[in-house]
């Protein structure tokens, strides 16, 4: 299949590009280095340098033999979007090309506007480009479990059947996010749903939980092929942060009571979920929604797990509850469904002691790069 990966330089985009080529697909990657630029501007660069996208593609070709065309440009610019779609003609598009951080979107007005404008404009441009140049192409869009928030009822997989005054109708499951970033994802879903109804495009919206990990089958232990590994408060996700904090001897930053429960997944599962969705596409006129995670943890459970495994490796891991910079429920009901991707064939990689130990050992090799002041700077939600 000809697959265009938008945001192909990112934490998930680059590993996805390698994975899909290794599985026999023709892939092109598109990126404008937004994530790299924002990390530089906020002084929160990843744990180790990663080569630029041209260099990564060259490295991957030298180890695997697969060639990946690269387009560098801004997908908010329609002329660039046209050039990409006319040159590559995708049968499927994986859309990761968004400002991906909840804390970044809450930094200030400028960051909020960048998140809104980038995420909504790119999503709209992708829809228009599919309509104009590849009307049968399947859009696989990365959404987020955070779109649902933490309601006090079970979370279904995308949709809810509602009975009201004796009549029934199926709606998108109610969404109520707790950051502007997550709200842009809700707006993306609304845009996609509108054009699915209006133009019969085919879309899979993947409601993903926080991802952890560094290795995939394609990187093996070749660190030159690793994705970005952010450990800062803005771009680092919680488990990756806890691993780095353990190595740095920095007490694990549990926000507030630590009862916040989320659905987590290994980066390897992200790649498999995206590939399975591509290989078994949504139908024309269908918005298919999957909840993309494999197991749930509270923040306290993650911290205790990292502490136990870290201590077995000879680290002295401390846990400290810090004032929660976010506005979120710290103790709540959480029971989301997640059967769709398992039915497509997903074989989950659960968080084991071995996987954690492997992450800790890799980060230990880069301990000298850790800059403590990046770990916790209190980006306040309110
Ligand atoms: N948390 C801590 N301590 C920390 C960092 C985070 O207690 O040092 C807590 C947060 O308050 C939150 C939970 O851990 O309750 C998860 O936070 P996170 O930073 O790992 O994830 P989040 O900001 O929610 O966003 C991440 C990705 C985003 C994706 C989302 C999935 O950056 O792209 O959409 O995970 S979800 O959270 O399910 O919406």
Nearest-atom index, ligand 1, CA of 236: 19
Give the list of residues 6+ apart from residue 9 with CB closer than 8 angstroms, or none.
29, 31, 33, 35, 36, 52, 53, 56
301 within domain boundaries: yes
Residue 229 in contact with ligand 1 by CB distance below 6 A: no
Tens-binned pLDDT, residue by residue, of the chain (382 aa): 999 999 999 999 999 999 999 999 999 999 999 999 999 999 999 999 999 999 999 999 999 999 999 999 999 999 999 999 999 999 999 999 999 999 999 999 999 999 999 999 999 999 999 999 999 999 999 999 999 999 999 999 999 999 999 999 999 999 999 999 999 999 999 999 999 999 999 999 999 999 999 999 999 889 999 999 999 999 999 999 999 999 999 999 999 999 999 999 999 999 999 999 999 999 999 999 999 999 999 999 999 999 999 999 999 999 999 999 999 999 999 999 999 999 999 999 999 999 999 999 999 999 999 999 999 988 888 8
Ligand 1 pocket mutation, candidates 210, 263, 320, criterion most atoms within 8 A of CB: 210
Residue 84 Cα to ligand 1 midpoint, Å, equals 32
Q: Catalytic residue at 183?
A: no
Q: Catalytic residue at 144?
A: yes
CA nearest ligand 1 atom 30, residue = 210
379 within domain boundaries: no
253 within domain boundaries: yes
pLDDT at 5: 98
Q: Are 108 and 153 in contact (CB under 8 A)?
A: no
Q: Catalytic residue at 367?
A: no
pLDDT at 379: 83
Q: Which H or E element spans position 192?
A: helix 180-199
**Phi and psi dihedrals of 215, rounded to 5?**
-105, 145
Residue 145 in contact with ligand 1 by CB distance below 6 A: yes
323 within domain boundaries: yes
pLDDT at 48: 94
382 within domain boundaries: no
352 within domain boundaries: yes
- Contacts of residues 364-372 at CB distance under 8 Å and 24 or more positions apart, as own/partner, are 364/247, 364/313, 366/47, 366/48, 367/247, 367/248, 369/47, 369/48, 370/47, 370/231, 370/244, 370/247, 370/248, 372/248, 372/250
Alpha helices by DSSP H, listed for 200-281, are 238-248, 267-279
Residue 89 Cα to ligand 1 midpoint, Å, equals 35
Q: Are 2 and 90 in contact (CB under 8 A)?
A: yes
pLDDT at 221: 84
Ligand 1 pocket mutation, candidates 107, 299, 325, 331, criterion most atoms within 8 A of CB: 299
Domain that holds residue 184: 2-374
366 within domain boundaries: yes
The CATH number for 44's domain is 3.40.50.720
Q: Which of 181, 231, 255, 376 is catalytic?
A: 181
Q: Which residue has the tokens 């990657």?
A: 29
Segments of the chain assigned E as strands: 2-6, 26-31, 70-72, 92-95, 138-144, 159-164, 167-172, 202-208, 211-212, 252-255, 261-266, 287-292, 295-298, 319-322
- The model carries a pTM of 0.97
CA nearest ligand 1 atom 32, residue = 101
Structural domains in the chain (count) = 1
293 within domain boundaries: yes
Nearest-atom index, ligand 1, CA of 258: 7
Residue 296 Cα to ligand 1 midpoint, Å, equals 13
Residue 164 Cα to ligand 1 midpoint, Å, equals 35
Ligand 1 pocket mutation, candidates 96, 98, 102, criterion most atoms within 8 A of CB: 102
Residue 10 in contact with ligand 1 by CB distance below 6 A: no
Residue 299 Cα to ligand 1 midpoint, Å, equals 9
């Amino acid at each position: 299949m000809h697959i265009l990966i938008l945001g192909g330089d990112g934490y998930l985009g680059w590993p996805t590009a390698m994975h899909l080529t290794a599985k026999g697909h023709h892939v092109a990657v598109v990126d404008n280095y937004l994530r790299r630029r924002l990390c530089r501007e906020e002084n929160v660069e990843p744990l180790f340098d990663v080569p630029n996208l041209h260099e990564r593609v060259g490295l991957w070709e030298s180890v695997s033999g697969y060639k990946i065309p690269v387009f560098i440009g801004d997908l908010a610019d329609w002329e660039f979007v046209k050039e990409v779609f006319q040159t590559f003609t995708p049968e499927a598009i994986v859309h990761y090309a968004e400002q991906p951080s909840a804390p970044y979107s809450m930094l200030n007005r400028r960051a909020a506007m960048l998140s809104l404008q980038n995420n909504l404009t790119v999503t709209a441009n992708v829809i228009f480009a599919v309509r104009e140049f590849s009307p049968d192409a399947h859009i696989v869009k990365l959404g987020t479990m955070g779109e649902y928030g933490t309601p006090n009822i079970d979370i279904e997989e995308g949709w809810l059947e509602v009975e009201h005054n004796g009549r029934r109708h199926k709606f998108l499951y109610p969404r109520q996010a707790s950051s502007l970033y997550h709200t842009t994802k809700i707006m993306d879903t609304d845009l996609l749903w509108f054009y699915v109804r209006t133009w019969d495009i085919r879309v899979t919206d993947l409601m993903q939980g926080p991802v952890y990990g560094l290795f995939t089958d394609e990187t093996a232990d070749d660190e030159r092929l690793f994705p970005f590994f952010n450990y800062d408060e803005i771009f680092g996700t919680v488990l990756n942060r806890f691993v780095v904090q353990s190595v740095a001897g920095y007490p694990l930053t549990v926000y507030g009571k630590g009862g916040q429960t989320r659905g987590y997944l290994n980066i390897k599962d992200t790649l498999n979920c995206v590939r399975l969705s591509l290989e078994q596409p949504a139908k024309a006129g269908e918005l298919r929604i999957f909840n993309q995670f494999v197991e749930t943890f509270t923040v306290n459970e993650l911290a205790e797990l990292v502490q136990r495994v870290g201590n077995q490796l000879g680290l002295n891991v401390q846990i400290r509850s810090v004032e929660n910079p976010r506005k979120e429920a710290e103790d709540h009901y959480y029971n989301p469904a997640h059967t769709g991707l398992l039915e497509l064939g997903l074989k989950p990689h659960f968080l084991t002691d071995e996987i954690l130990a492997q992450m800790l050992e890799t980060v230990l090799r880069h301990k000298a790069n850790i800059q403590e002041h990046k770990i916790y700077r209190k980006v306040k939600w309110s």
